[in-house]
Amino acid sequence: MHLVAPSVLSANFGNLQADIEMINNSNADWFHVDVMDGVFVPNISFGFPVLKVLQKLAKKPLDVHLMIVDPDRYVQAFKEAGANILTVHLEACTHLHRSIQNIKNHGMKAGVAINPHTNISLLEDTISEIDVVCMMSVNPGFGGQKFIENTYNKVEKLKNLIASKNAKTLIEIDGGVDLENYKKLIKAGASVLVAGNTVFSSPDPTAMIAKLKSV
């Protein structure tokens, strides 16, 4: 069964508690939490004060997606802020293997995110160490962007790589997931679907989450 992770980036920050409780009471599996620094991506989202609210109110795992340069500096801080899965960008890590070990040594699941231009082959030597590959299906930085169709090919390649190494890595799709593409993504091998705009622009976000969970 695949997992659904609503992206808090699209929530209503004027009443974050209500949206957190909506996710708590829905069929969602994880909270997807996008942290952006305005350097690695051309946008700034939020940081520790918001994480603290999530840590207190969220009753499901926090899947923290770091779109920041030099993420190693903050691994300990995100552990303390309640991250269960901590994802760094391959493009932001000079020593990716070390970053992965660092996250695991802090007792979190290690995620590696890859941008749309990044080839799957670059994961060949680390895939067995990675708990979740977050495959960007838009260029990171903003919610509500259009899904990039080449993602299906990449999911297929990644699925084959994971199988060839006998790894247990989850394939997470992040960006532009909607009712048009989610079934095809699951069929291609996706096991975690992130959804921001699709959930929060829906008149009934709880029902939308249930739809994205159904196959």
Q: Which residues are catalytic?
A: 34, 174
Q: Answer yes or no whether residue 171 interacts with ligand DX5 by CB under 6 A.
A: no
Give residue 52's identity as a one-letter amino acid code: K
Q: Return the closest-CA partner of residue 195 out of 10, 67, 15, 17.
A: 10
Rounded CA-CA distance 147/137 in Å is 6
Beta bridge partners of 182: none
Rounded CA-CA distance 175/139 in Å is 8
- Is 38:45 a contact under the CB 8 Å cutoff? no
Rounded CA-CA distance 66/70 in Å is 10
Is 96 or 138 the residue whose CB approaches Zn ion more closely?
138
Q: Answer yes or no whether residue 144 interacts with ligand DX5 by CB under 6 A.
A: yes
Q: Answer yes or no whether residue 174 interacts with Zn ion by CB under 5 A.
A: yes
* Nearest distance, CB of residue 175 and Zn ion, angstroms: 7
* Nearest distance, CB of residue 43 and ligand DX5, angstroms: 8
- Residue 110, Cα to own-chain centre: how many angstroms? 11
Opening angle at CA 112, ends 128 and 215, nearest 5: 85
Pick one of Zn ion, ligand DX5, none as the site partner of residue 195 (Cβ within 5 to 8 A by kind): ligand DX5
Q: How many residues does the chain have?
A: 215
Q: Return the closest-CA partner of residue 86 out of 28, 43, 24, 34.
A: 34
Residue range at the interface with Zn ion (CB under 5 A); choices 10-18, 73-81, 170-178, 202-210: 170-178
* Nearest distance, CB of residue 24 and ligand DX5, angstroms: 19
* Nearest distance, CB of residue 148 and ligand DX5, angstroms: 11
Q: Give the per-residue contact string, 86-125, with Zn ion (x = CB under 5 A; - = no).
A: ----------------------------------------
The residues binding Zn ion (CB under 5 A) are 34, 65, 174
The residues binding ligand DX5 (CB under 6 A) are 7, 9-10, 32, 34, 65, 138, 140-145, 174-177, 194-198
